Structure 1
Amino acid sequence: MKIEFGDDGIVIDAALIAPLLNVAPAGVPGLMREGAITSLCETGIGEDDGEYRLSFFYLGRRVRLKVNASGEVLRRSIVDYGDIPLPTAMHRPGG
């Protein structure tokens, strides 16, 4: 299982996002519960209908996954500011 869409929301395998955020997979759930890793889901419209952009934020890093409705990753991107906190604009939808 990598990414599943269901009635209870989106479930993502920690092993998929952990290396992109430079953390251990076992640490992802705790960091999310603590609010250290945050996330944002955007639903595609128009030509992106049926696709989603999932963004994850941790320290100075933003990871984005563009996925289709079956959970296949179509594109990924990483922005890493190193020790500098991400600018607020990087946390906004479409930012």
Structure 2
Amino acid sequence: MSHVTVNAGEFTVDANLIAAAFALDQAGVQARMRAGEITSRCATGIGEDEGRFQLTFHYQTRALRLIVDASGRVLSKGMEVRGNRRRVGAEA
């Protein structure tokens, strides 16, 4: 099962994936998103990255970045902490 689903061009990300990245539980992720403490952005790939999307979730000093394809398959994920990027790995 994918952690990301795509429906009519909109992405839904499993809260457990975000929770693991930010050391929270699922309820904590949902509460912090409602409060605006966790924010998200989506960027569409162009050129050689066409068909890919970057989903970024920001919380405090950290950012979780997911690169996904049009079907929602996670191609890679990484974490940025205070401007220091660290690639977590690719998923098959």
Q: Count matched residues.
A: 82
Higher share in helix: 1
Q: Which residue of 1 aligns with 2:36?
A: 35
TM superposition shift of 1:8: 7.1
Q: Which residue of 2 aligns with 1:2?
A: 3
Matches within 5 A, 1:2-81: 2-7=3-8, 9-81=10-82
The answer for unaligned runs of 5 or more in structure 2 is 84-92
Give TM-score scaled by structure 1 length: 0.78
Q: Moved runs in structure 1, 4+ residues, more than 3 A?
A: none
Aligned-residue CA RMSD in angstroms?
Answer: 1.6
Identity %: 41
The answer for unaligned runs of 5 or more in structure 1 is 87-95
Give TM-score scaled by structure 2 length: 0.81
